[in-house]
Structure 1
Amino acid sequence: MARKIGFYGVLAYVIYALFIYWYLFYFANTSLPFEYEGSKADPATFMNGRELVLSEEYSKIRNILFFLATPFEWIFYLLILLFGLSKVFKDWADKSTKFKFLQTTIYVAWLTFFSFIATFPIGYISYSLSKKYNISTQTFSSWMKDELIDFWVSFGTMVIVVSVLYWIINKSTKRWWLYAWLISIPFTLFMMFLQPVVIDPLYNDFYPLKNKELESKILQLASEANIPAEHVFEVNMAEKTNALNAYVTGIGSNSRIVLWDTTLNRLNDNQILFIMAHEMAHYVEKHLYIGIAGYLLLSLLGLYLTARIMDYVIARWGDSFKLTKVNDVRSLPLLLMIISMLMFISSPLSNTVSRYQETRADRYAIKMTDDTEAAIGTFQELSRAGLSQVNPPLLVKIFRYGHPTMLERISMIEEYELEQRNK
């Protein structure tokens, strides 16, 4: 039975990979609808011929890597269970120490290490791709440093989460999903509070915006929106990427508005003010807190479904997976696989909500700055810098895009301009 499950699992992955390749390279149509040709949303009006070709090439390869990476994790966890490696990790941990917490730490260390090794090639291909298309400026040593930081942060977090989770499961094999969810609430909020001041600085240097004249303009904009901001932060990303970005992170007193220095280098002041107005909209409309509430609701449903699916799988295929009970840490790969699947399945919903919020933020920023030229120029430059498809395939939009497509964003601004002229 184990061989059968493994064979069909790998076969399903291969068929899925072939479908995704066919869809992205042969079926999906990314050409612009004829009514938008020649408009400000038409990439031919703001990209040269080489950029147009490169954006299509880069986007297709990047998209196929995305669609292959997550299901690859499922196959990895499936094979870990079927080959008995999860049991081997547990045996090694049990022989190494008598202390339960240290046993869990050792088990998680082995699972995290093998996961890192298994997924490293995909990560390296993605890094090499971004270097080839001049998106990334990061040296291999710098990229490897970030990968190792990811590994240790992931490992440390996983040890804490798994130790607490399996302690809860041992206490209540029926309602562990509910108790785990209740404990996850303060943990999630605590991690979001720490993110800007503890985790993010591990990767990059953050400091108050150097351009004080620009900072004054941004703070004036914040004042008009009744946002109690004292500083805008910039981060040195030019040594890693040519892409542009700005974002809001953290909660409470640790909330930060952050600009990449690449954004400062490539956009003018009016365009940056539009971006800042967009980010301020998220604060004004409380999108961060709505997002937290939505995440917690989805995680409650996700943990409940995970518990039910784990019970079913162990009851039916426990022998093949070498699992007899849910409260054994050997079931961790199964738990991670199910959670990953549920997150992938739910991503269209979360992306839809995110795109709605981003559209509202765009509208807020346009009304606040009343500068449609800067808004359109910003989106055009974002497309050029990231070699982004203006009109991506439907499946890519559904599963990957937390923002509206550039076609939607620019055409919305053009419609706004038309409305204003007709008033």
Structure 2
Amino acid sequence: MDKRLLLIILLFFILLIIFITFVYISEVENMTQLKVEYPELKEEVYSFRVDSLKVWGLRLLLSFVIPMFFLFTKLSQRISHSVGDGRSWFLSGLLYGIIFFGLVFIINLPLEFYSSFVLRHRYGLTDQSILRWLELNIKGFLVNDLITSLFIWVPYYIIYTSPKSWWFKIGLLAIPVIVFMVFISPFVIDPIFNDYTSIEDERLGKNIEVLLEKAGIEDAQIYKVDKSKDTKTMNAYMTGIFKSKRIVLWDTTINNLTEDEVLSITAHEIGHYVKGHIWENIIFSSIGSIVMLYLVYISSNWVLKLSNGTFGFRNLYNFASIPLLIIMLNLYSFLGNPITSYISRRMEMQADRYEVSLVQNRESAITAMEKLYDTSLGVPRPSNIYKIWYHTHPPLEERVEFYKTVEFEEIK
């Protein structure tokens, strides 16, 4: 391996550890200040935040360490060689994906169990059973990783046939795939994990229909999802496009908020659709995919060249390069987080304004948001660095002030 590559890898991990340390210290200092400003906040809020930060830091490190382990031990090449001998592109890709993603799933399982089961039970955020937790994780693996494995051969065949332009062709191919997934997800993917029941005939459903009609999207469907068996936190969302668009309310949201508060949260989700945020996300994702794939194309070929065969392969179209591509995708996703988080926060503010304008009720918007943060043990605000890098929603402090002062917009 070229010494330059080894030096860059070492420098990257040093900088990554410095970043994690800086964020952690900034968050701890921020929490110290919050304790003075918000003496009524429970101690569990802060201890849960600290534990969650530790998980975040470890998960960020592992997102690079695990695929590097597959590369430097040549395990990825051994898997690729064992499944590729005399087999078709499709079958080789399928077998490699099942083995590789299966191993990664198993390696990540202890941390996932600690973060999504142990911690959430420790802080009273869920009554989920261990069997239900296993069910969701296994389903997640089968839906995400197995489907990925089925189609791995497609991008790799493009890399093989178009070694200099594959990034653009795959980026273009991703656009209809993104649109298709947004369309079919409410019908096909979501029901695999939870049960969805219509509430259009209930009183709440009728009141939501009034909001939908006022917003001009009366053809959207209204559903309740049984999230109470997984969490005590609350949420709602609008998903789908065209005939698949629907409002989805967690049953925890319906059970723990007043009707006015539920309508405010629903109006916020309606605002995302009316403001075109679903389509904006599709456009941003499509453009971002092409840009990211170009960067991956440049950097992965450079790394492969400097590796001098250290990984056991020299061609990017070898399935063994999947960990290398994952590292690059994780790197550029990490570096691009401030951009995506900013865009998301901007959309949330637009939806917040539409929310209070549609329901004409500032107070219910405020109390609903405060209850959402309270049940999830959220802090009123994060440190600046964490907000810039990871906060996809404005902090509670900003949202409450925004609800109080923003001018209503005209609902057409």
TM-score under structure 1 normalisation? 0.89
Shift of 1:6: 7.9
User: Could you tell me which residue of structure 1 aligns to residue 177 of structure 2?
Assistant: 187
Q: Does 1:346 align with 2:336?
A: yes
Partner SS state of residue 324, structure 1: coil
Partner SS state of residue 150, structure 1: helix
Among 182, 189, 200, the residue aligned to 2:190:
200
User: Could you tell me which residue of structure 1 aligns to residue 112 of structure 2?
Assistant: 123
Q: Does 1:255 align with 2:245?
A: yes
User: Could you tell me which residue of structure 1 aligns to residue 259 of structure 2?
Assistant: 269
- Letter of the structure 1 residue corresponding to residue 273 of structure 2: Y
Shift of 1:383: 1.0
- Letter of the structure 2 residue corresponding to residue 218 of structure 1: I
Shift of 1:224: 1.0
Specify every segment of 5 or more residues in structure 2 that has no aligned partner in the other structure, as ranges.
Answer: none
User: Could you tell me which residue of structure 2 aligns to residue 55 of structure 1?
Assistant: 45
Q: Is the 8 A contact 1:215 1:231 kept in 2?
A: no
List per-residue Cα deviations over 1:166-215 (Å, max 9, x = no partner). 11111110101111111111111111112111111111000112771111
Task: State how 1:5-404 maps to structure 2 within 5 Å.
Answer: 13=13, 16-17=16-17, 20-21=20-21, 23-25=23-25, 28-30=28-30, 43-44=38-39, 48-49=40-41, 52-95=42-85, 98-127=87-116, 128-209=118-199, 212-404=202-394
Shift of 1:113: 1.2
User: Could you tell me which residue of structure 2 aligns to residue 407 of structure 1?
Assistant: 397
CA distance in structure 1 between the partners assigned to 2:343 and 2:399 by the alignment: 16
CA distance in structure 1 between the partners assigned to 2:29 and 2:91 by the alignment: 53
Shift of 1:11: 8.8
Shift of 1:342: 0.8
- Letter of the structure 2 residue corresponding to residue 129 of structure 1: L
Q: Is the 8 A contact 1:32 1:391 kept in 2?
A: no
CA distance in structure 2 between the partners assigned to 1:26 and 1:282 by the alignment: 32
Q: Is the 8 A contact 1:9 1:75 kept in 2?
A: no
Q: Is the 8 A contact 1:194 1:250 kept in 2?
A: yes
Partner SS state of residue 382, structure 2: coil
Shift of 1:347: 1.4
Q: Is the 8 A contact 2:224 2:249 kept in 1?
A: yes
Specify every segment of 5 or more residues in structure 1 that has no aligned partner in the other structure, as ranges.
Answer: none
- Letter of the structure 1 residue corresponding to residue 94 of structure 2: T
Task: Work out the percentage of aligned pairs sharing the same amino acid.
Answer: 26
Residues 26 and 192 of structure 1, relative CA distance in 2, 3 Å threshold: closer
Shift of 1:254: 0.9
Q: Which stretch shifts more, 154-163 or 77-86?
A: 154-163
Q: Is the 8 A contact 1:6 1:82 kept in 2?
A: no
CA distance in structure 2 between the partners assigned to 1:92 and 1:277 by the alignment: 54
Residues 326 and 15 of structure 1, relative CA distance in 2, 3 Å threshold: closer
- Letter of the structure 2 residue corresponding to residue 186 of structure 1: P
Q: Is the 8 A contact 2:156 2:319 kept in 1?
A: yes
CA distance in structure 1 between the partners assigned to 2:223 and 2:6 by the alignment: 49
Q: Is the 8 A contact 1:222 1:280 kept in 2?
A: yes
CA distance in structure 2 between the partners assigned to 1:328 and 1:125 by the alignment: 35
Shift of 1:20: 2.6
Shift of 1:94: 2.6
Shift of 1:255: 1.2
Partner SS state of residue 147, structure 2: helix
Partner SS state of residue 284, structure 2: helix
Residues 12 and 313 of structure 1, relative CA distance in 2, 3 Å threshold: closer
CA distance in structure 2 between the partners assigned to 1:11 and 1:312 by the alignment: 17
- Letter of the structure 1 residue corresponding to residue 358 of structure 2: M
Q: Is the 8 A contact 1:2 1:82 kept in 2?
A: no
Shift of 1:91: 1.9
Q: Which stretch shifts more, 238-247 or 187-196?
A: 187-196
Residues 129 and 4 of structure 1, relative CA distance in 2, 3 Å threshold: farther
Root-mean-square deviation (CA, aligned residues, Å) is 2.6
- What is the total number of aligned residue pairs between the two structures? 407
Residues 236 and 312 of structure 1, relative CA distance in 2, 3 Å threshold: same
Residues 403 and 32 of structure 1, relative CA distance in 2, 3 Å threshold: farther
TM-score under structure 2 normalisation? 0.92
CA distance in structure 1 between the partners assigned to 2:20 and 2:337 by the alignment: 17
Shift of 1:413: 2.0
CA distance in structure 2 between the partners assigned to 1:43 and 1:257 by the alignment: 34
- Letter of the structure 1 residue corresponding to residue 379 of structure 2: Q
Partner SS state of residue 237, structure 2: strand
Q: Which stretch shifts more, 185-194 or 403-412?
A: 185-194
CA distance in structure 1 between the partners assigned to 2:75 and 2:160 by the alignment: 22
Partner SS state of residue 238, structure 1: helix
Shift of 1:86: 0.8
- Letter of the structure 2 residue corresponding to residue 168 of structure 1: I
List per-residue Cα deviations over 1:134-174 (Å, max 9, x = no partner). 11221111011111111111222212332100111111101
Shift of 1:222: 1.1
Shift of 1:321: 2.0
CA distance in structure 1 between the partners assigned to 2:23 and 2:158 by the alignment: 43
- Letter of the structure 1 residue corresponding to residue 375 of structure 2: A
Residues 8 and 184 of structure 1, relative CA distance in 2, 3 Å threshold: closer
